[in-house]
Every structure is written in structure tokens, then in C-alpha cells.
Amino acid sequence: MSAESRLLLPVGVHTALRAHLFPGDGNESAAILLCAAGPGRRLKLLARELIPVPHEACSVRKPDRITWPGRWIEEAIDRGEKEGLHIVLVHSHPGGLFEFSAADDASDSVVVPGLFAAYDARHGTAIMTPDGRMKVRFYDHDLQPTVVDLVMVPGDDIKIWWSDHQGGPPMAFTSEMTAANQHLSVAVIGASGTGSIIIEQVARLGFGRIVVIDFDKIEGKNLNRILNTSCADVGRFKVEVMANAAASHRGNGTVIPMPTSILDREAVIAASDCDFVFCCVDTLEARLVADLISAMFLMPLVDMGVVIPVRRHGGDVRIADVYGRIDYVYPGGATLEDRGVYDPERLREEYLRTHAPDAHRFEVRDGYIKGIAEEAPSVITLNMRVAAMAVGELLARLYPFRHEANRRYARTTFSLAACEEEYFAEEAFTASGAIPLARGAEEPLLGLPALSARRGQP
């Protein structure tokens, strides 16, 4: 089982596609997907647009056969060529055959050359069975087909269909789960208090590749809360220490260290090659980037935050709360921005606080910026709790084990002071759809000019 190529469908596109392909009459149906590609090295097709071929437009619709008019392909070519989108022709196998048939091969040999004649891209074809599974193949210039290893639909549950495996997901917390994880990869933004604990977990859980992004170096004051660090590590990049630690029990190459800011083009491209994102940071800027990665590269995102607000009581300072938050975000659902985790005003404020502390202080004084509470330093017990829940959140989506639907747990918060946990369903938030889905490699990357190839450079 190779793990390199993927077709990702936003849950909305997959639901619409399935409804169209299986109208209930038991006959084959057809549709076209226009897909962007990710910017990374791995082939990652991101379904952006669905063009259903109307049932009545097909001259033949039988349980094992369909003939559909080529002018819908022309429509797809017209819409896809401008943005260089890859065309995938999909039809249904109502009988449940999870293979390309001889008829499919014959049909492809006629149709696919026409797609390549229209414009150059990774064109392909796909089938869907009634349970929603898909198998996809794309063609090279010699019209040799290659089957895409994995089709993923990241929603409340993360549906994964391997091209060579028909069963459902393995049971959570078993060695089968660990084996399955081997073919999946994780991007971790931030390798500090919570990040190091996330990395420890995903490495032990067997994930095949872990890209870790953090520009920071270890300081003596970090040793109280960063796993796998020692006094000897002070001054080293956090990501390198993490990579060495993982290598000691997983072998070399499991953790790929990226010692740079997340506002770095190479880091974003490396993250885009992964399947999931964990956001373990204390900046809004990084959360914005994680949000954009999730939507634009169709990657489920788990974001976490901890805070220990304090209050004054007479002359004393007392703990007001010990608080943690875990958000699970899927492409097309409510984003971190939709959930109020950050906004344009606070992003500017954070920029100013970081790059122009004097100006920031003046603006706070002048009332242009609302003063924000200083965040107390986090502690390892709190970090471990929130990081364990964050990884548990991903496992629950991949290998469902909850008694109730995952949709009820879009956000979890807990208070160690009040000994309370709260759950927010996806419906508690409004998905604005403001971030375009499946943008892929379009420039500027993630729509952020800071990530674009610099003006004036080739």
C-alpha cells in the first residue's frame, strides 16, 4: 500500500456527487470534477467544482452502462482550462464493483486523449460505489493510467478509502490503527509546550511522516514544559530536538524539521503534503495560516489553546481559571475565524505588538487597541491535557468511537478550576465560506502576498 497520491473532496462536494450519481433508479450516472493541485511534491488533487451531467442528457443509462454526451466535457474544459484545473470524469457503479471495468477502460481510451488534446493537466477518471467509496485513476501523456492511492473526504468524520483495501477503518487504539496511520502524515505547527506533546503522541501512534514547523530555539526556561529536551539542547532548534527524539524510537526521517516561521513559503508547501494539521501555537498569525491551509488544501485541522487568567484579590494575585480549548475544523465547516479565534483587527494588533512594541503601547494608550489580558505562562499538566484531547479528537474522526456523532464536538473547552467540560456542536458556529476551498497552488500561496514568490524575482 503506497501512500503518495490523493484525491480530496470537501464533504459538500462528495455529498452532492453521491446524490447525483445515485438518483435511486439503479442506473449509472455521470459527473465531472474539476480539481486543483496542491503545491507540494506529492500528487494531491483537490476537488473544487462539480459538474453533474444531467440524467436526461445521457442517451443510455443502464445498471451497467452509460453513454453521456461529450458536450459536458467541453463545458468542463471551458471552465477548467483557464485555471489549469485537472478534469476527473466520474461515473457510478450501482452494482458495487469497486474496480474499473473493461467497458471503463475502453471508454477512457477514447475520451481521455480528447482531454489531453484540450489542455495539459492530470486528467483522469473515477468510479463511485453506492456506499460513497471512490476509486480514481489519472493518466500520463502516454495515456498510461495510475490509480490514486487514497481518496479522502474530511468532514465531521474523516472518510478514507484506499484504492487497494475495501474494508472500513480499523478499530481505534489497536495495532491495526497504528498500522493504518503509517500511511498518513501530519503537519504540526509549533514545537513547544503543546507541540512537543502532540509530536510525541503522533510519532508513537505510528503516523508515517510528521512535518514540524517552528523557528524557535530551546531556552533554559522552556525545559519545564517541552518534552524530550535537556540542558544540552539549549540553543538548538526545537524542531531538530523533536526530530532526533522521534528518530530514536521510529528511525530517521519520520519527523521532518522545518526550522522556520509558518509565514514561510517552504514551510507551507511542506505542510501541504500532509493529511492533517495540528496548530500548537500562541500566535493568531499562525492560526490564520493554519485556517487557510485547512480550507485551501482540504486538510482537517485541530487547534488548541490554553490560558491561565489571573485576578487581583486585595493585594494578592489569584488564579481565575485554568482553561483549555480544542477546535476541530474541517474544510467547508466553520473556520477558526468563523469561531472568533482571530480577526483582522487583532491580527494587525499582534503584528504591531511583535514588530513595533512602542507603537503598540501608544496605540493601546490612545485607545485604538483594546488592552488584552497578559497570558500567564502555561504549564505542562495543562498542556498535556489539552494536547491529549487534541490528538484524541483526530483519532475520533479517523476511527470513530464516540457514542454520539462527532458533529457534536466541533469545540471542546474545559476548566480545571471549575472542573467542567463544555462541548460545542458544529451548529454552534456559522460557516461563512469566506475562505475559498481547494485553492491549491494558486498564487499568492494561501492568498497571502507574504507567501508569494517575491515581486521582481523570476
Partner 1 sequence: MSINQTAGSQPAENAITIEVAGTDLAFGPVIIRDRTPTGAQIAAAAGLTPAQDPYVLSFLPDGELVEILASETVDLDEGRRRFIVTSADRSYRLTVDGEQYDWPARMVTGATVRKLARVPAEFLVYLERQDEPDRLIGNQDIVNLGDKGVEHFHARKQTWKLMVQNVLIEIATPTVVVADAMRQAGFDPAQPWHIFLKVQDQTKREVAANYVLDLRTPGIEKLRLIPKDVNNGEACAPRQAFALLPVDERHLDTMGLKWETVVDGGRRWLLIEGYPVPEGYNAAVVTLALEIPGPYPGAQIDMFYVHPALRRLVGEEIPATQATETVLGRIFQRWSRHRGPNSPWSSRLDNVMTHLTLVDGALAKEVNQ
Tell me the three state secondary structure of residue 451.
Answer: helix
> Which range binds partner 1 by CB under 8 A, 54-62, 172-180, 417-425, 442-450?
442-450
> Which range binds partner 1 by CB under 8 A, 170-178, 288-296, 387-395, 410-418?
288-296
Q: Which of 184, 195, 298, 300 is nearest to 239 (CA)?
A: 195
Does position 288 interact with partner 1 (CB under 8 A)? The reply is yes
Three cell numbers, residue 71: 458536450
Read out DSSP for 289-317? HHHHHHHHTT--EEEEEEE--EEEETTEE
Q: What whole-number distance in Å separates Cα of residue 333 and Cα of residue 195? A: 24
Closest CB to partner 1 among residues 91, 287: 287
Does position 140 interact with partner 1 (CB under 8 A)? The reply is no
Q: Which of 133, 122, 142 is nearest to 163 (CA)?
A: 133
Binding residues for partner 1 restricted to 320-349, rule: CB under 8 A: 343-345, 347-348
Does position 352 interact with partner 1 (CB under 8 A)? The reply is yes
Task: Give the shortest CB-332-to-partner 1 separation in angstroms.
Answer: 16
Core vs surface per residue 273-282: b (16+ CB within 10 A) or e: bbbbbbbbbe
Q: Which of 388, 393, 436 is nearest to 200 (CA)?
A: 388
Q: How many residues interact with partner 1 (rule CB under 8 A)? A: 34
Q: Which of 249, 261, 143, 132 is nearest to 191 (CA)?
A: 261
Q: Which of 431, 405, 420, 218 is nearest to 339 (CA)?
A: 431
Task: Give the shortest CB-86-to-partner 1 separation in angstroms.
Answer: 23
Task: Give the shortest CB-153-to-partner 1 separation in angstroms.
Answer: 25
If you search the block for the grid coordinates 473556520, which residue do you land on?
335
Does position 119 interact with partner 1 (CB under 8 A)? The reply is no
Closest CB to partner 1 among residues 7, 268: 268
Q: Give the residue, chosen from 65, 106, 368, 401, that forms a contact with partner 1 under the rule CB under 8 A.
A: 368
Task: Give the shortest CB-155-to-partner 1 separation in angstroms.
Answer: 23
Q: What whole-number distance in Å separates Cα of residue 426 and Cα of residue 415? A: 21
Task: Give the shortest CB-286-to-partner 1 separation in angstroms.
Answer: 9
Contact 125, 108 (CB under 8 A): yes
Q: How far is CA 89 from CA 83, 157, 431, in A?
A: 18, 25, 29
Q: Give the residue, chosen from 366, 370, 374, 403, that forms a contact with partner 1 under the rule CB under 8 A.
A: 366
Q: What whole-number distance in Å separates Cα of residue 397 and Cα of residue 333? A: 14
> Which range binds partner 1 by CB under 8 A, 49-57, 60-68, 233-241, 360-368?
360-368
Three cell numbers, residue 127: 468510479
Does position 289 interact with partner 1 (CB under 8 A)? The reply is yes
Does position 285 interact with partner 1 (CB under 8 A)? The reply is yes
Closest CB to partner 1 among residues 218, 369: 369
Task: Give the shortest CB-280-to-partner 1 separation in angstroms.
Answer: 18
Residues 6+ apart with CB under 8 A from 386: 194, 304, 305, 306, 324, 325, 326, 414
Task: Give the shortest CB-358-to-partner 1 separation in angstroms.
Answer: 10
Closest CB to partner 1 among residues 75, 443: 443
Task: Give the shortest CB-393-to-partner 1 separation in angstroms.
Answer: 24
- Please state at what angle helix 238-250 crosses helix 195-204, rounded to 10 degrees: 20
> Which range binds partner 1 by CB under 8 A, 36-44, 299-307, 406-414, 444-452?
444-452
Does position 208 interact with partner 1 (CB under 8 A)? The reply is no
Q: What whole-number distance in Å separates Cα of residue 134 and Cα of residue 169? A: 15
Contact 211, 187 (CB under 8 A): yes
Does position 84 interact with partner 1 (CB under 8 A)? The reply is no
Task: Give the shortest CB-328-to-partner 1 separation in angstroms.
Answer: 21
Q: Report CA torsion sign: 397, 400, 403, 404.
A: positive
Does position 444 interact with partner 1 (CB under 8 A)? The reply is yes
Q: Give the residue, chosen from 234, 247, 263, 441, that forms a contact with partner 1 under the rule CB under 8 A.
A: 263
Does position 355 interact with partner 1 (CB under 8 A)? The reply is yes
Does position 449 interact with partner 1 (CB under 8 A)? The reply is yes
> Which range binds partner 1 by CB under 8 A, 23-31, 47-55, 152-160, 440-448?
440-448
Q: How far is CA 88 from CA 109, 116, 337, in A?
A: 14, 12, 32
Task: Give the shortest CB-268-to-partner 1 separation in angstroms.
Answer: 12
Interface residue list for partner 1 (CB under 8 A): 263, 284-285, 288-289, 292, 343-345, 347-348, 350-352, 354-356, 359, 362, 366, 368, 434-435, 443-444, 447-450, 452-456
